[in-house]
Amino acid sequence: MIKERLCREYIAEIERLEKSIAELEETIIELKTQLRMKSEEATSLAIENRNLRYKLEKLEKRYNQLIELLKKMKIPFIIIDEENFEEDQENI
């Protein structure tokens, strides 16, 4: 009788542990999926960032070439720093 009672308790404990293991395995699968998604998102953002940096470099190069061309042609022009222009207008 004691043996049967102990066995039932051990069996119940084993079943509880098996259930916990199954839940942990599901949690691990979910976390792996989230990690994979975040990794793909980070890769996508890195690619987008690289593309935007390239476009910015090209725009800066074109801007500088245009300025140099205007200087060589001796065409009068004024460059306004838009970021500081509003601040300068407020100070006047």
pLDDT on residue 8: 87
Residue pair 19/12 in contact (Cβ under 8 Å)? The answer is no
pLDDT on residue 80: 78
pLDDT at 87 over 90: no
Mean pLDDT (whole number) for 2-28: 91
Encode 23-72 in three state secondary structure. HHHHHHHHHHHHHHHHHHHHHHHHHHHHHHHHHHHHHHHHHHHHHHHHHH
Mean pLDDT (whole number) for 53-58: 98
pLDDT at 62 over 70: yes
